Structure 1
Amino acid sequence: MPLTYTYTRSRLDKRRSSRLQPFASNDNLNYALGAIRVLGIELIEDELKPHLNTVLTTIKERKKGAAEQVLISGILPILALSLRTRGKLTLLTAKLVAELAKESVVRKGFGEAGLVTALLFVLTRADQEVLLHAARAISRMSYNSSIQQEQLLRQGAVPRLVAILLRFPDNEALEEVCLLALCNLSDMGEAEEAGMVWERGVSVRPGETVFHGISPHTCGFGSSVTLVRVSQWAPGQYAVSIEVFQRCSSSFWNLHGNKRTVRCFPLAGLGGCSNLYKVVKHSARTVPRTQSLRTRVFHTLL
């Protein structure tokens, strides 16, 4: 029997609270989704919170069919509205959207539901924890997805991510998420499970910040080295260069009777800028790839 709800409103209740009563179902997820559909119309925060938590817990547990239920429930536009509202539910909603972004079946509906523009709007916020989850959602959306990459690039994801890197240089977790998002947008990223480790690098050029990430190969014979350079070439104008090198271990080459010189790069840190610049526009171009090196360059005006 399908799940149905009654929605009652007491005229005497000054808080204009809502109450949902399931006629028949023990499915907590279905009940929570139905509640969000009804309560989300007015974003009644105190009553929405437990239902958002129920959906978040269920999605984290990767229960079979949960992602499909979320997609067909119609709550994605409500999540987009919640992100834009700047209310008490913004952080919880950002966490939920970041988890939903892991599910390919759900993130395909992000664009139509307005979640892409909502996430980009959130990237202009000052709350670093909210930024962390919003950037993580964008990173997951764009991983290995040319359609999502193109949409995010067209709508200005790169300048917003670069602005965060410059504004919060001391937040390592936020820095790593933004760097992974930039790599995924360039279609040269690694899956989260790869365990890439990021560090700040040394640059010999004024106005340039360098990051390098190392992701060990699962076979144990080498690693992937990713270099991200953010270079200021005019006031408020930056070039973001992303390069990926494949580096093999000496034991691998000795095993095959070959020797190879590992490329060395100067690495370490430059200070960050505390100003968040207004995004003007963004464009990108692809540099031709070679067998040993892949490069992507974004020209960004902030």
Structure 2
Amino acid sequence: TALGHAVADGLETAPYLHSTRRPVASVPSAGGFEESHSHATSHLLLPEDPAFFDRGGEAGRGPLVLVDDEFSTGNTVLNTLRDLHARHPRDHYVIVALVDMRAPGDAGRLAAFAEETGARVDVVAHARGTVRLPEDVLARGLRLVEEQDGSTADPLVPCAPAVAPVRLQLGWPAGLPDGGRHGFTPDHRARLREALPAMAARIVDGLGGPEQAGRVLVLGFEELMYAPLVLARALEEAGLDVRFSTTTRSPVLAVDDPGYAIRTRLAFPAHDDPADGPGERYAYNVAGGGF
């Protein structure tokens, strides 16, 4: 969600909306899609403005930009395109990802969608590649899980001395959304940029200044990533040594090995009561101050 919001920021004049797993009774759905490989598959589009997808006038005016972290098969983005085109057709779509890992046959399905609808579909990726897996990859993976189970899957980390929590009045502007769950407009973007330095200064003061703060972890929460991310950037600009991460629903095996990407895992129950039920949540590579 923060990745898409950052792309919208780069486009400056683009309104932004991200999908959500959290229905709101007072906000009708403007669409949705299934993310078949996810741990919570159903996504909703819940813009507060019913005309959000009709901005720009007649259908077909202006491109609609869809952002994802990676394409493995392209199923999710294709599901999204089909749903949106049936409800709010346009003649130009731009698909953006950090990594495009689709096989040639998968890539052809977007071309088939474009031919079927008459819409132009462009794909922009920071990197492209392929994954080749050995035939025994599943068996080897299961052995690794068995080896790590009960040992280093959740490494125990010495606790730092208890520190009294500091609660701050951040001064978040009234009426400004904390993210793009229900839409984030260019006017919202301008208000947030204007308010960020003062909010960062309050946090720095609450931590006792840059010298006393030390290294700071800003931890976002699932869909609520963007506000923590821009605050982390503002804290860095104010002189703090900042790391940023977020919690997630995705379970990943942690292995405390220098050559492995996920070294530590914190697991904890969901703090709220989401519509799709309770479950474990995770924070990776932040245990023990190792961030």
TM-score of the superposition, structure 1-length normalised? Answer: 0.20
Of structures 1 and 2, the larger Rg is shown by 1
Structure that is richer in helix per residue: 1
